[in-house]
Amino acid sequence: MLDTIKKDVSFSGMVGHRGLGGVETENTLRAFNEGGKRSYVGLECDVHSTKDKIIVVSHDSSLLRVGNVDMKIPEHTFEELRAVKFPDLNTGKIEDDLFVPLLTEYLHVCKKYDKRPVIELKETLSEEDIEEVIKEVKESGLIDKVIFISFFPGYLTKVRRMLPDVEIEFLSQIYTPGILDFCSQFKFGIDAYYKVMTKEIIDAYHKAGLKVNVYTVDNKEDVERLVSYSIDYITSNIVE
């Protein structure tokens, strides 16, 4: 079975990507529980809404890549989606405990292991869906620990209007000075593709009082280099 790669420097800001997506089938309760048992400060997930308006955890809007079934989440009920069982990442065998989790189930795991929920708001969500996500986080008792992330500025500004003090990170594959201006305006940190992040950019964010996360760093040497830049968080599938 696969295991995590251990970094050689002290750093308490590692975030498990899609749970522990390099060791277990991503965005499943097994992946979140395995991540919960490790040293990660937070567990990242992605959320969509089903046809019957249930918030579920999946990176893709379809089950095709992970579940080998071409079912689009917004076009099916939760019951229909839940019936699909996924193959184990390690063996390829279909397992009964590998399936689409509810957001509430993911939040329960975060609470059980005292991990920060890091929730990516995906492209299929409506404003009402985002309000439901916030409601479920509040009901879980984790609103003071949650980090919301998204590539979609409108989603994040809506969250900011509803939650003036919650931690929010703008996802980006690139970096331009205008992104820092945008983040400063709304008190957003950044969650950027790690290859575009430099010490100078991190320093500029910190000077503005904002935090910096990077994704998805699966090489131990890259993690250790970024730690030396005084970064706040590093998201990884397998390094802890």
Alpha carbon of 12 to those of 39, 42, 102, 183: distances in Å?
8, 10, 27, 24
Give domain limits for the chain: 14-236
Q: Which CATH superfamily is domain 14-236 in?
A: Phosphatidylinositol (PI) phosphodiesterase (3.20.20.190)
From 114, 116, 124, select the one nearest 73 (Cα to Cα): 124
Torsions phi, psi for 233 (to 5 deg) = -140, 150
pLDDT (0 to 100) of residue 2: 86
Beta pairing, strands 55-57 & 42-49: antiparallel
Q: What is the pLDDT of residues 36-55, one digit of tens each?
A: 999 999 999 999 999 999 99
Amino acid symbol at 211:
K
pLDDT score for 1: 67
205 near 193, Cβ under 8 Å?
no
* Helix or strand run (H / E) with residue 183: helix 177-186
Residue ranges of the chain with pLDDT lower than 50?
Answer: none
225 sits in the region (left: phi over 0; alpha: psi -120 to 50; else beta) called alpha
